Amino acid sequence: MSDNGHNPYNPIPMHIVRAYYESNDRSLKTFELVFDHQKDCDQFFSNYDPGQFCQLSIFGKGEAPFGIASAAWEGEFVRFTVQKMGSFTKYIHTLQAGDPIGMRGPLGNGFPLEDWKGKNIVIIGGGCAFSTLYALTKHVHHSKHRPDYEELIVIYGARTSGLCMYKHDIETWYQRSDMEIHQAIDVPEEDWSHHVGYVPDVVKDVAPSPQNAVAVVCGPPIMTKYTLPVLVNLGFAPEDIFTSLEKRMKCGIGKCGRCNIGSKYICKDGPVFSLAELNALPADI
Amino acid sequence: MMYILVKKNLDQKLSEWSAKYEVVAPQKVEAYSQFLPFTESSELALNEPHNTRYPPKSLFLPQSEVMLKYNKRLNKFDEIRILPEKRIIFGIRPCDASALTLLDTVFDTEEYQDPYWAGRRENTILVGLGCSEPPSTCFCTTVGYGPFNHDGLDAIMTELDDVFVIEALSAKGEKLFSDFPAATNEHELSVLRIQSNAKQGMNQAFETEGLKQTLDHLFESDYWSEIAESCLGCGVCTYLCPTCFCFDIVDEVQRNERVRNWDTCMFRIYSQEASGHNPRPTISERTRQRLMHKYSYWLDHIEKIGCTGCGRCVRYCPVGLDIRAMLRTASNFESEVVNVG
Amino acid sequence: MPELKTELRNNIEQLLNDQAVDVVIAFKKADLPLRPQPAFFRNVEELEDLEYNGLCQNNLANYLTRYPHDTKIGIVVRGCESRSVNALIVEKQHPRENLYMIGVPCQGILDIRKIINKTGEDITDYSEDGDQVSVIFKGNEIKLQRSDLLHDSCLRCVHPNPVNADVLLGDPLPEGDPTIVRQAIEEFEALDRDERYAWFQKEAERCIRCYACREACPMCYCTECFVDHTTPRWTESDISQAGTQAWHIIRAFHQAGRCTSCGACERACPMDIKMTYLTDKLNKDMLEVYQFEAGMDDNTPPPFASFNLDDKNRFVI
């Protein structure tokens, strides 16, 4: 895709069309962005796969990477859910519908959806890292793609019910006959009728079959660390377990050197890696 | 085809080129040398036995470069891409030129071309100066290059008493020198002798065969904390290194500019994450990253060592750390590990 | 000098044999004769490599802050180093009782670049005898005078003898002449504002922000340096004039009353930037205004790090 004259460091001009809090403590806020120029939109959607990320770009504040939380079929917008952490995300949280913003992407490899065709898919997420898995689920269960895959199981944990993202949409997943959804929170709450416990334990309870299946795990490092062995114990091969990594990034296109683990750049070779690939990398995390 | 450039005509020739090109050549600054635009008053520093202290990679990847100028209020920006017209870099050493070809594999890839890098590469003619008497701090032959290596050069010069003998290595080089007087047989014989002496005068600084496997094997060993114990964690080795390319991108709010600056894995904050987690919390891990990148990861990427043996990190380390000694230690350390194990 | 090295070796050997310390920070030989390196001795066998000569150019106090406070550290200290160690003790960076200071009167550190300028790059051997230095360049011996090769800060040294040591090896040297450093600063002060700025600008503009000066300085031990701070960012981080000037000015000010004029910053600088004129100026002011010289004892806090509740003056300044 060598394109002389194109500058991959230039942010794509976007506007926020919808901005809403995702959690009742207001630590998570979702933004839906539309393109100022149709050609940027076409370019984006000709390249986008769930699992990819973008650099959100704000003049005077810099850039930071965020996973894409929308599926292409949802419309000509791109969704991100941003957790308030440092100065950059604090600033993003002040933005509202109508505000301009820059974006670079889609970046990274995304989930290997082609390879997963014909298989059962087990999606396991925790916290705000569920955002790209939300995009993945929406992609897979769309009528156009659903026949390509066998069973779909989604396990999603959050610390509290108030921190559960995409609530209204996920509620409708319980009605679907073509997927299984398991939600969990860490400690019991009144009116909570789903699982209670940590994600690795919920995975143990649900015990998805490794037969003809792939599992994808995204969550806080501690959750991922304890969930991977559970899947291995259930019989999933390292080649069939996938996760998405995060590291400090700047360029997002494999040039600035910052986000490597061994000889792999998270931004370019990842962020999605199989456990088999991760096992081959040095302990540089 | 070989040509000659009579030394006493050098300034005149550079002036002539200046009419059509931007000419950049090594010049004295305080006690060191650096590539600077040639002017009538330039004092050329071609007689140092080695490369300039400040690396010419900066002519392609400037240490600080404005990428865009923004207007925050209007959320608009102007892309800034200041590229040279046509340019000749005169007197670049083979180690620095071959380093550019390594960096091409980072900045000019099929997937994402860095337009700043690519633009500068395209517009530049590289006239190299081979190293007749490489100092003992240089080790290009050890890592697969040599004092008269051709990689990346459009022409290479060999210095004789009163002339530079020039061998054109590309169409660009051929065109630049085609109207120069041809070298005589005698010249060419001298060139052969000088080039072969220069190469033979250099020793194998460390064993490269199996080095990658050794380092990979030592990844979680104490080797790194041992070799890095006196390391200050400054950026001298990496900033002066011709193959180090890491950069940071920051918004300079007082100037409304987005700037990229050289950055280095030797700095603590380089890989520090927003959560506060630092995957490389001490100088040992950072030294490991620096050495593994050059002697292991580059090999994974393009099957070449990411070091051209230019010797700067050896010459200018404030605590006298010598990457060659570090790598020799690796082999010994591994055999100790194996013996003990 | 060889006798001093032997004495030093015996002393360190004793310390290690007696297990009086966990580690001794000194210098060791390296492959390149001009580049002895800071070294960390834990075993007597390693002392084969011990080196001590005029080329030992780093301030070893720099490494103290890398150790937990309960590590018993032996450290070779020259005049400036002993003062840096004192300053670190005052700033509670290592307890005095866990330090064993091996004092060595210092004849001054040689500037490698001055040697290379006089000979050439490829020096294959080096030796020194009193005021004489001898190097082998391209097979030929070249004799040089030590005084011609001293690093600029050592030419201005006032306290060559350790001011705090558990043992002193070698004979004390005469104290340096304080008028020399004063003269150098007064020359700078005598320039008018534009000339001073031009001087500063000429030095700062070569800065490549590698922070070798910071990392080589024992007093720059902050976990997070002001230039690395991101919220808010205090300075521009590029090599623009604003960025490099801010770095040099603020770095110097953070040294006021703490710098011991060792010159390690300048020796570490890959771009030959003069920066001790800034710290020397501040040191001179500290002496004139507060009668304070950094690190002369291990209990007086620097003026800018101390306060008095009964202070009659208004806060601050």
Q: Does A144 touch chain B (CB under 8 A)?
A: no
User: pLDDT: is C72 or A222 the higher one?
Assistant: C72
Print the domain residue range for B229. Answer: 211-340
Residues C121 and C13 in one domain: no
Q: Which of B170, B200, B230 is the last residue of a domain?
A: B200
Q: Is pLDDT at B112 greater than 50 in this prediction?
A: yes
* B90 and B151, same domain (yes or no): yes
Q: Could you give the strand order of the β-sheet that contains B247-252, starting from the edge strand earlier in sequence?
A: B76-79, B64-71, B257-262, B247-252
Question: What are the backbone dihedrals phi and psi of residue A206, each rounded to the nearest 5 degrees, phi first?
Answer: -70, -35
Q: Are residues B156 and B77 in the same domain?
A: yes
State residue A1's pLDDT score.
Answer: 36
CB contact under 8 A, B274 and A256: no
Is residue C100 domain-shared with residue C129, that is, in the same domain? no
- Nearest residue of chain A to residue C231 (CA atoms): A87
Give pLDDT tens digits for A4-19. Answer: 458 999 999 999 999 9
Cα–Cα distance between A244 and C150 in angstroms, integer?
A: 57
Across the interface, of A4, A13, A59, the residue whose CB is closest to B72 is A59
Question: Is B206 within the bounds of a domain?
Answer: no
- The pLDDT tens digits of the residues spanning B199-224 come to 999 999 999 999 999 999 999 999 99
Residue B195 vs residues A135, A247, C101: alpha-carbon distances, Å: 61, 47, 53
Domain with CATH 2.40.30.10 in chain A: 12-107
Q: What is the pLDDT of residue A145?
A: 94
Number of domains in chain B: 2
Nearest neighbour of C121 by CB, restricted to B63, B135, B262? B135
pLDDT digits (tens, 9 = 90+) for A184-207: 999 999 989 999 999 999 999 999
| ipTM of this complex | 0.94
Residue B143 lies in a domain: yes
Chain B residues close to C233, C-beta within 8 Å: 250, 253
Distance CA B153, CA B172 (A): 10
| Predicted local confidence at residue C305, as pLDDT | 86
Q: Which two tokens stand for residue A28?
A: 């998570």
Asked whether residue C316 is domain-assigned, the answer is no
Whether the predicted pLDDT of B6 surpasses 50:
yes
Say yes or no for a CB contact (<8 Å) between A250 and B77: no
| B128 lies in the same domain as B247 | no
- pLDDT averaged over chain A? 93
Residues C161 and C206 in one domain: yes
What residues in C contact A87, CB-CB < 8 Å? 230-231
Span C176-201, average pLDDT:
92
Kindly state whether residues B191 and B232 are assigned to the same domain: no
Nearest Cα to Cα of residue B11 among B91, B123, B125? B91
| Residue C1: pLDDT band with limits 50, 70, 90 | low
Do B273 and B233 lie in a common domain?
yes
Model pLDDT, residue A2: 38
Chain A residues with CB within 8 Å of chain C CB:
86-87
Which residue has better confidence, A87 or A135?
A135
Residues C130 and C211 reside in one and the same domain: no
The answer to whether residue B335 scores a pLDDT higher than 70 is no
B47: confidence class by pLDDT, cuts 50, 70, 90: confident
Confidence bin at B54 (pLDDT 50/70/90):
very high
Check whether C276 has a pLDDT greater than 50: yes
pLDDT digits (tens, 9 = 90+) for C95-133: 999 999 999 999 999 999 999 999 988 899 999 998 999
Q: How far is CA B302 from CA B104, B105, B115, in A?
A: 11, 8, 21
What is chain C's length? 317
Chains that touch B (3 or more CB pairs under 8 A): A, C
Residue B82 lies in a domain: yes
- Alpha-carbon torsion (B218, B220, B226, B228), positive or negative: positive
Chains that touch C (3 or more CB pairs under 8 A): A, B
> Of B200, B220, B252, which closes a domain?
B200
B190 lies in the same domain as B238: no
Asked whether residue C54 falls in the same domain as residue C73, the answer is yes
In a domain, C236, yes or no: yes
Same-domain status, C107 and C216: yes
**C312 is a domain residue:** no
**What letter would DSSP give residue A178?**
S
User: Which residue segment(s) compose the domain that C214 sits in?
Assistant: 2-111+150-305
B240 near C CB under 8 A: yes
Q: How many domains is chain C partitioned into structurally?
A: 2
Give, in words, the CATH class of A12-107. Answer: mainly beta
Query: Are residues B193 and B235 located together in one domain of the fold?
Result: no
CA distance B118 to C157: 51
Is the CB of residue A159 less than 8 Å from the CB of residue A133?
Answer: no
Residue ending a domain, among B167, B200, B233, is B200
- For B114-171, what is each residue's pLDDT tens digit? 999 999 999 999 999 999 999 999 999 999 999 999 999 999 999 999 999 999 999 9
Compute the distance between CA of residue C63 and CA of residue C81 in angstroms, rounded to an integer. Answer: 11
Same domain for C50 and C168? Answer: yes
Contact yes or no for A163/A25 (Cβ under 8 A) = yes
Asked if residue C39 belongs to a domain, the reply is: yes
Q: What whole-number distance in Å separates Cα of residue C122 and Cα of residue A18?
A: 67
The verdict on C47 and C37 lying in the same domain is yes
pLDDT score, position C307: 79
* Same-domain pairing of B53 and B97: yes
CB C104 within 8 A of CB C14: no
Last residue of a domain, one of C103, C130, C149: C149
Residue with tokens 């050495």: B291
In-domain check, residue B246? yes
Segment A272-285, tens digit of pLDDT: 999 999 999 998 77
**Confidence check: pLDDT of C267 > 50:** yes
Instruction: Report chain C residues whose CB lies below 8 A from the CB of B239.
Output: 208, 210, 270
- What does the mean pLDDT of chain C come to? 93
pLDDT digits (tens, 9 = 90+) for B72-103: 888 899 999 888 789 999 999 999 999 999 99
**Per 3-state DSSP, what percentage of chain B is helix, strand, and coil (rounded to 5)?**
35, 20, 40
Residue B205: inside a domain: no
Show which of C123, C149, C175 is a domain's final residue: C149
pLDDT top residue among B275 and A244:
A244
Work out the minimum CA distance from A221 to partner chain B, whole angstroms. Answer: 11
C68 and C12 in a common domain: yes
**A113-244 is classed in which CATH architecture?**
3-Layer(aba) Sandwich (3.40)
pLDDT at A5: 57
**For residue B115, what is the nearest residue in chain A, using CA coordinates?**
A7
3-class SS of residue C213: helix
The verdict on B57 and B83 lying in the same domain is yes
For residues C186 and C171, membership in a common domain is answered with: yes
